[in-house]
Structure 1
């Protein structure tokens, strides 16, 4: 069937069916580099008359062999590809039905996953119990829309969008945060908030019930807080009277406990970065719950400080190292907490001192402290003041938290210790950040032009982080 001719070593023959070209090692060694000749049928030869040359027909044989191998291989590969594509598509569709199509109205957030009663044998009960084991259930847009009455009962609106009140079939009231397309909170912040709150469990943190991502909508479903947020009461002359001294102390302690959990005892070390009165929600008993974790950051176990090029948060509550340099740590939240303490004691916003010689509440409190008049900082709506010693103690704690250097500020563990151990003397605070004053008399002189105020004499300074 074939032979190889080597002039120096003789000839090597193949007889019978030509299965392979392998021969003994000795024979193979004698024909290395030699040409091999294969016997073909006459039908596989083609004579071309006119050119005087004979061209073998093994080209056709090679083409037929190649096609015989390539076509089945291609068909098998294509078939496997279509099979796995359909399989994955089916799984995604199945997953969508199981996870993203839950009916918010019928969802039972109090279902016990270990329950084995007869009613739990139904399909809906099994789905609810199975979803209960998920860290965060997803709900359909239609069910959220119905639960909120087509988003008709608006509770308020924050920086990222409006919040609506809803009610489920079993009477549970909820709050739906509907993120605006024009808000600064994108998909990254949305995912951040859902992942973080789903992993947090503390009585002073708001409970996230679920979310909805459908029709280009991003919504978060929270437990409903009937008393809205802290700023709703704190900065209103009439509603502020509801916050007596005992309630204000309980709110301060609750915020401190929530921050301590975030900084030390949660599964993840978390820096909130946007602590302010509007993000402190109040339940039916006026207990505080920290909310809005869209700007929060997770720290590793050994991390104590980080840097960012994107400054987020609210001016007036941002620490100086974060506002100016983008540096943040647990001490950044401590600074915001100190501002909150002084606002709760005084009933005034940190940024409400435009027409005074103090730049802000921190400067005003520092001036009163150095003049031994710190008790004058108390909110007049409190009526009968508490003991002067207790009042001064909380002002002292607030001033310790807003000191300019992060190293001088206490940790939240230290703050809790200061609150609990009432008879332990506190260190004196150093000068807070952002306390530079202004000369009001000079400003009025500059703004006076022929007895008519002019906007041309006014200046506005915008602080931007580097």
Structure 2
């Protein structure tokens, strides 16, 4: 009707327009399932994708988790009732993308598919094949959901296919089996949880016995078998009777010289996958209804090994399958909301062997639970002796005593289950708990008494409360906010309340305005520090240094902090604690770690710092796998940041400070990998005109101490310059100065000097960096490092000189002289006749009192 009303003159243009649309749609359908070299990359930010010709599968980018993490994957399109994409394959499940603006999928020069982020030299994922015909490869998403890399001139030639690398899903036509050529087995590995596709704890793989029987085994942590499909009888598996429905599933087994695998076809649209709870499920979806589960094995989650994690208890008859026993809490509330209990439960309070107060533990009865695995049995032992044996064993976490004798568990309890009604009859287990939990329990059992007492003295209590309130109000009015130690760390807002700490450059003027002589560092109560760190739980422990353990804390508003405790076993003490609180509080620079407050209560001495998300430099620099995250650009920024921080300490802060303990573990990295100098416990203040100072107490770390300091106790700003030079050479080479042995060199400094002397400095470069864009820049940094480690302090540059040399890329550099190869100044070599026992130290300082950290 519309065409007729338009008349003859309007009909032709309209028909031509429709024809063009149809042609475009036709060509688009043919091209949508392929991706070729020369096409624009598939971008995360543009939500690019390709679809199979039948319109069922789609390849593109999806996001999961908070904060958002991006992955390249394949999913089933437009499932009815699905709020999230039903993912069937993930490319970069172990290496997520976090920057959507710079992430894309494209072809490399050699014809491989590569998934790139901000750094083009570090792909997040690649097909990683050799000797490809680089100009004729193309990627295609087939109708069965298989992503293939094939020869564009001969489509039957397949170079790579996603079916060879399944994740958690087995698609019809896909392979699940073993590779006889030594490649990775074609197995299923579950997601960690619904928001994290990285490999979880459960796996499914094919096993072929020497006698020829075939079955699929399901394992926890790739080690503990918890279920089997049963033996293959030629048509189906013994323990998956649902697969006998041949009108739905048609199974087949293939074995040749290269591989052996099972594959299946389905008469309806269905997929099989290994759920993050350890169940193997098959789902299907009719065209007009929601997906539904055909079958799930094992049928009961109680048959899944360690489903609830360490100390978790499984409940067969509840919607929430796991919970924690008394005295424990979930490792992560976020994970448990996603039904991920793999990390289990944590103690709320440490046991006697770990508790500084050394209060006696006790045992809580857990009635009617199935016995956890890995017990130790003692037959001839009474109930009392069984309890005593567990109490006297620091590793014992639970015991039970029955007609069979005494069973004792050491370490984490796995597979605790509370039988459902009519199920197995469990036994009573006595779980070891801290004394603090008993006090809570005692209070809980006497609640009726307290209610009666409260009713009887209600009137008196009300009057007493009112009196106390008025009294507190009067005291607060007189005292104001002077009682700083009452500050609640959990409620403190560091973004607005810690205004007293300012840069030292205008400190005198600021002091006059505030009417104070010094910076006021917030003091917090020990109770609030306990709350922030979850009672210093082991899960929050970040590490331990010379000062003591460091824990992660979290405030009510979500801010994360680092809490450092002075250990009673620490070689450091009040002097180092005073250094931290008096020095760092006055220092404000982007490359210095920020001290937020402290806690001094009884014997407890605690420091509160800003939290560094990426730990310390040594965590990456000396680890063969993690050092790959430090590309050349990142290493340059780290070197520049350290130099700027030291320059501030030496020249621009109100107090001239010598750090005395510069090393990779004292360089912390924030979320953007920016360096911050930390640990000022060994630092010293010197006058503006003071060239050097002397100490009888040599502290620091061998390999980073300058020779004049290590042997004579003389330290100056040039001591820090020496440490910086060692640090620079370590960052460039990725190797430690101490314990370095290569080509006869006893340490990194000698090796670097010999390469420099022979004109082979590029050999010092860390091989994981790749080939930097400018080798002259790398050689320049090595030159600067060697200038900093020269033996004579007078020959070393100042940090101002170093910063200028770094910033002026084309400025001339002087030739370095031979560095100090040993800890001292070759004192033993000056007179070979001297007895080493009589000349082992100068200034009455011996090696025995050096405090290496």
Same fold by TM (over 0.5)? yes
Residues in 2 aligned to 1:139 and 1:130: alpha-carbon distance in whole angstroms: 23
Residues in 2 aligned to 1:277 and 1:113: alpha-carbon distance in whole angstroms: 29
Match of 1:138 in 2: 523
8 Å Cα contact 1:362-1:435 kept in structure 2: no
8 Å Cα contact 2:498-2:596 kept in structure 1: no
Match of 1:147 in 2: 532
8 Å Cα contact 2:738-2:748 kept in structure 1: yes
Q: 1:355 to 1:345 in 2, by over 3 A?
A: closer
Match of 1:276 in 2: 663
Residues in 1 aligned to 2:498 and 2:564: alpha-carbon distance in whole angstroms: 27
Q: Report the 3-state secondary structure (helix = DSSP H, G, I; strand = E; otherwise coil) of the residue aligned with 2:489.
A: coil
Match of 1:389 in 2: 776
Query: Which residue of the other structure, out of 457, 474, 484, is the alignment partner of 1:99?
Result: 484
Residues in 1 aligned to 2:601 and 2:693: alpha-carbon distance in whole angstroms: 34
Residues in 1 aligned to 2:725 and 2:566: alpha-carbon distance in whole angstroms: 29
Residues in 2 aligned to 1:465 and 1:173: alpha-carbon distance in whole angstroms: 37
8 Å Cα contact 1:138-1:211 kept in structure 2: yes
8 Å Cα contact 1:177-1:219 kept in structure 2: yes
Residues in 1 aligned to 2:743 and 2:606: alpha-carbon distance in whole angstroms: 42
Instruction: Note the C-alpha offset of 1:463.
Output: 4.7
Match of 2:580 in 1: 193
Residues in 1 aligned to 2:482 and 2:645: alpha-carbon distance in whole angstroms: 36
Residues in 1 aligned to 2:480 and 2:735: alpha-carbon distance in whole angstroms: 51
Instruction: Note the C-alpha offset of 1:332.
Output: 0.2
Matched, 1:318 2:705: yes
Matched, 1:248 2:635: yes
Match of 2:798 in 1: 411
Residues in 2 aligned to 1:184 and 1:365: alpha-carbon distance in whole angstroms: 34
Instruction: Note the C-alpha offset of 1:355.
Output: 6.6
Residues in 1 aligned to 2:690 and 2:764: alpha-carbon distance in whole angstroms: 37
8 Å Cα contact 2:730-2:736 kept in structure 1: yes
More helix by share: 1
8 Å Cα contact 2:742-2:751 kept in structure 1: no
Instruction: Note the C-alpha offset of 1:384.
Output: 2.5
Match of 2:116 in 1: none
Match of 1:295 in 2: 682
Q: 1:26-425 to 2 correspondence within 5 Å?
A: 98-111=483-496, 135-152=520-537, 153-354=540-741, 357-425=744-812
Q: Report the 3-state secondary structure (helix = DSSP H, G, I; strand = E; otherwise coil) of the residue aligned with 1:100.
A: helix
Q: Deviations over 1:343-394 (max 9, x none)?
A: 0000000013247511210011011111111100000111233422111000
Instruction: Note the C-alpha offset of 1:164.
Output: 0.3
8 Å Cα contact 2:667-2:677 kept in structure 1: yes
Residues in 2 aligned to 1:174 and 1:390: alpha-carbon distance in whole angstroms: 37
Instruction: Note the C-alpha offset of 1:214.
Output: 1.1
Unpaired segments ≥5 residues, structure 1: 1-89, 115-128, 437-460
Instruction: Note the C-alpha offset of 1:108.
Output: 1.1
8 Å Cα contact 1:161-1:177 kept in structure 2: yes
Match of 2:402 in 1: none
Instruction: Note the C-alpha offset of 1:465.
Output: 7.7
Q: 1:113 to 1:389 in 2, by over 3 A?
A: closer
Residues in 2 aligned to 1:263 and 1:464: alpha-carbon distance in whole angstroms: 30
Q: Deviations over 1:381-412 (max 9, x none)?
A: 11233422111000000000000000000000
8 Å Cα contact 2:666-2:678 kept in structure 1: yes
More strand by share: 2
Residues in 1 aligned to 2:771 and 2:679: alpha-carbon distance in whole angstroms: 34
Residues in 2 aligned to 1:349 and 1:113: alpha-carbon distance in whole angstroms: 38
Instruction: Note the C-alpha offset of 1:94.
Output: 5.3
8 Å Cα contact 1:245-1:386 kept in structure 2: no
Q: 1:159 to 1:465 in 2, by over 3 A?
A: closer
Residues paired across the two proteins, number? 337
Q: 1:401 to 1:278 in 2, by over 3 A?
A: same
Instruction: Note the C-alpha offset of 1:98.
Output: 1.3
Residues in 2 aligned to 1:465 and 1:151: alpha-carbon distance in whole angstroms: 32
Q: Deviations over 1:82-114 (max 9, x none)?
A: xxxxxxxx99x9599711121100111122689
8 Å Cα contact 2:738-2:747 kept in structure 1: yes
TM-score when normalising by structure 2: 0.38
Instruction: Note the C-alpha offset of 1:464.
Output: 5.7
8 Å Cα contact 1:363-1:435 kept in structure 2: no
Residues in 1 aligned to 2:530 and 2:655: alpha-carbon distance in whole angstroms: 33
8 Å Cα contact 1:229-1:278 kept in structure 2: yes
8 Å Cα contact 1:324-1:465 kept in structure 2: no
8 Å Cα contact 2:519-2:585 kept in structure 1: no
Q: Deviations over 1:10-56 (max 9, x none)?
A: xxxxxxxxxxxxxxxxxxxxxxxxxxxxxxxxxxxxxxxxxxxxxxx
8 Å Cα contact 1:269-1:299 kept in structure 2: yes
8 Å Cα contact 1:311-1:323 kept in structure 2: yes
Q: 1:112 to 1:130 in 2, by over 3 A?
A: farther
Instruction: Note the C-alpha offset of 1:130.
Output: 13
Q: Report the 3-state secondary structure (helix = DSSP H, G, I; strand = E; otherwise coil) of the residue aligned with 2:494.
A: coil
Residues in 2 aligned to 1:204 and 1:112: alpha-carbon distance in whole angstroms: 22
Greater RCO (Cα-Cα under 8 Å, separation 6 or more): 1
Unpaired segments ≥5 residues, structure 2: 1-474, 500-513, 824-840
Residues in 2 aligned to 1:465 and 1:362: alpha-carbon distance in whole angstroms: 25
Q: Deviations over 1:141-170 (max 9, x none)?
A: 110011001111101111221110000011
